[in-house]
Amino acid sequence: MSLDDLHLNLRNLTQDDYPQLKQLMDAVYDDIGGAWPQHSIDRLIQEFPDGQIAIEDDERLVGVALTVRVDYDEFSNPHKYDDLVGNREIILNDPEGDAMYGLDVLIHPDYRGYRLGRRLYEARKELCRSLNLRAILAGGRIPNFHEHPELSPTEYLDRVARKEIHDPILSFQLANDFLVKRLLRKYLPEDEKSQGYATLLEWNNILYEPAERVLENRPTQVRVGAVQWQMRESASVESVLQQVEYFVDAISSYQSDFAVFPELFNAPLMGLQDRATQQDQLAAIRYLAGFTEQFKTEISRMAVSYNINIIAGSMIEVGEDDRLYNVSYLCHRDGDVEKQSKLHITPQERREWVIEGGDELRVFETDAGRVGILICYDVEFPELGRLLADQDMDILFVPFWTDTKNGYLRVRHCSQARAIENECYVVLCGSVGNVPSIRNLDIQYAQSSVFTPSDFAFPHDAVLSETTPNTEMVIFSDLDLTRLTVVRAEGSVTNLKDRRKDLFDLRWRDWSWKSGARQEES
């Protein structure tokens, strides 16, 4: 048959289709009794019309998938085919069932080779997602098992999985992302080719949300506004905070969930000292740290007032040990404030400002996803991003400050690598401008960007949005968290899932003893 002669149409089965359906089932299932009686099919169509899917070619029925709804807990455990059937061959459909059960998939012999079975399976999966059902279950015959009397059922399944043996049903189901959950005995006793055995197969709906949790779930669409901040001479603390509030107001007016600022965005406040005083860089950075508590309080107020979560770039904090730390504050819109210290300190920060690295790394739970923060240099260490990804991070924020383009490109390329290898969004936010009157602020280079995994669901270059280089502006991006769920489970490649944990692992050391929380071993 020529492809030019095909005129395929996917639709739901109707009761008028029964004569053709009977012919198809009698031909395909001649070894196990043939077609269901008409009253069984009619009732199935009445009770679950969306689950009965047909493919026709010029009104000729050439493919069918029959499906019922079932209780997952009952049918994910050992059962028999007869458990699906009541008196008078009535197929037992549970309208409150939280899973679908694949009864039959039939393709007309003349139409095999056109992958119509795959179309039917994809239609089933789409229906499962749209109905928010937990999974698709199926009892799969293994009709070629009788040809291998030297093998046990489990050995046969293993050989089919390794593609050493082809089974027309099991091989097809494995190729369509179904997993063998268990071996079923005496599933269909009259199936002599399978010798009564079957596989219980499952396709898991990764987007399933239990009904009782729907109201609790975070949104799947998250809007982020990132400020490419202009470093400028400032006359007062109030003028800088006024500029921050201007951007927060603007970003929140677009119903954004996050506003993001760059690393050390308030550094120009060192210029409030006279030029001679600034020459002592350690004194200058401690002077800057004196404004941090005020900024943290005011930005937290803005987060609540404007109903937006704010990644407050980073600021210098004097720790309880009187040492200096470069700290990013996450100001939640409910008033909570959490922080992430920079862990890796650049040579310049150590040399000029004697800044210390923090010793904690965490993922923050927000009302718009699970987020991590790596400040500038930290994103160049891939272990940190992977540790965050292992805690189910959705969005990685990278506030940064670079003076030259080559420094910026280190941060950019490493950020893009983190998005790809950890299958997450990365929001890169930096500062621009020149402040010659302040040491270490004389030049900046930035092009703030939002990076994505590199797969079909995302932009072709894995860049969702980016600013004009070296220009003060705001970029907005809508991040679809559902796409992350799908790419992690069903992407062209699945970086997180495919790691060889049998060969290597990664762990975070326990440094709690530094604060006295952990007793030294005797």
Tell me the catalytic residues: 263, 342, 376
Residues 168, 117: Cα–Cα separation, whole Å: 11
> Which residue type, as a one-letter code, is found at position 337?
V
Residues whose CB falls within 8 Å of the CB of residue 95, separated by 6 or more in sequence, listed in order: 47, 48, 69
Say if strands 425-429 and 198-204 run parallel, antiparallel, or are unpaired. Answer: unpaired
Burial of 414 (0-12, 13-18, 19+ CB in 10 A): buried
C-alpha dihedral, 484 to 487 to 488 to 493, nearest 10°? -150
DSSP code string of 389-457: HTTT--EEEEE---SSHHHHHHHHHHHHHHHHHHTSEEEEE-EE---TTSTT-S------EEE--SSTT
3-state secondary structure of 347: helix
Q: Please, which residues bridge with residue 138 across strands? A: 102, 201
DSSP 128-178: HHHTT-SEEEEEEE-TTGGG-TTS-HHHHHHHHHTTSS--TTHHHHHHTT-
Please tell me the distance from the alpha carbon of residue 461 to that of residue 469, in angstroms, as a whole number. Answer: 18
